[in-house]
Amino acid sequence: MDLSNYAEATVEVTYQARSMDDSTEGFFLEMSLDGGVTFTQVEEWNEGDEFVNTQNYTDAVMISGPFTSTTQFRFRCNASGQYDFVYFDKIVITGCEIQPLRSDATSKEEQIKIEKPELSLSNLYPNPTTSYVNLDLTAKVEGDLDIHLFDIAGQLVRSYTENVMEGKNSIYLELGDVPSGTYMLQINDGKKTDIRRLVIMK
């Protein structure tokens, strides 16, 4: 994603871990500034320190820039492999854009950061589903949304572009030929990315 004009990004995640053994096992968030060629760790969660098994948590990580036009984030699990899992229910990425100072500003070194989330996704249903999904959302302004469906391996399965009006909107997505499985639905309005887990059962 293009975050080159952002000074700060926040990754909010809702998750639940299963069967982690001790504080040496958990998961972590990584960031790439070169389109996924290399990644660096920015945050970690360990069993017994940040979470306990089978409990739901919501956490947010604030990351300072600079970023690039090919910034990527990913979660990775560090576990024994003995049926250890981390379930992500919701991932939301927001940012603060860099705005140049006015010519009459008193300090040339100061920068103004303004957070402008335009999209608010309130509901995604039915989930699980068999052949379609509805998205209920509110948009601050009229514009286009880019919607991408990824499988659990991170491969792009389907892309949509939907126009929304200012205010409340309902979007219908046809999924009739998408195989059964667990997917991540990514909704992006250019300023905010909302990621939700979607299960398709045929």
Span 94-115, pLDDT tens digits: 888 765 545 444 444 444 443 3
Candidate from 89-93, 103-107, 117-121 with smallest mean pLDDT: 103-107
C-alpha to C-alpha distance for 70 and 5, rounded to whole angstroms: 12
Domain spanning 117-202: CATH 2.60.40.2550: yes
Q: Across the chain, what does the average pLDDT equal? A: 84
C-alpha to C-alpha distance for 27 and 80, rounded to whole angstroms: 12
Q: What is the CA radius of gyration of the chain?
A: 19
Task: Give pLDDT, residue 189.
Answer: 82
- Among candidate residues 122, 119, 114, the one with its CA nearest the CA of residue 142: 119
C-alpha to C-alpha distance for 81 and 61, rounded to whole angstroms: 26
Fold assignment, 1-101+109-116: Jelly Rolls (2.60.120)
- Among candidate residues 112, 113, 93, the one with its CA nearest the CA of residue 102: 112
Q: Name the residue ranges covered by the structural domains of the chain.
A: 1-101+109-116, 117-202
* b/e 28-49 (16+ beta carbons within 10 angstroms → b): bbbbbbeeeeebeebbebbbee
Task: Give pLDDT, residue 82.
Answer: 72
Task: Give pLDDT, residue 38.
Answer: 93
Structure-block tokens of residue 26:
């958990």
Band (pLDDT 50/70/90 cuts) for residue 118 is low
What pTM value is reported for the model? Answer: 0.58
Burial class (CB within 10 angstroms; exposed 0-12, middle 13-18, buried 19+) of 93: buried
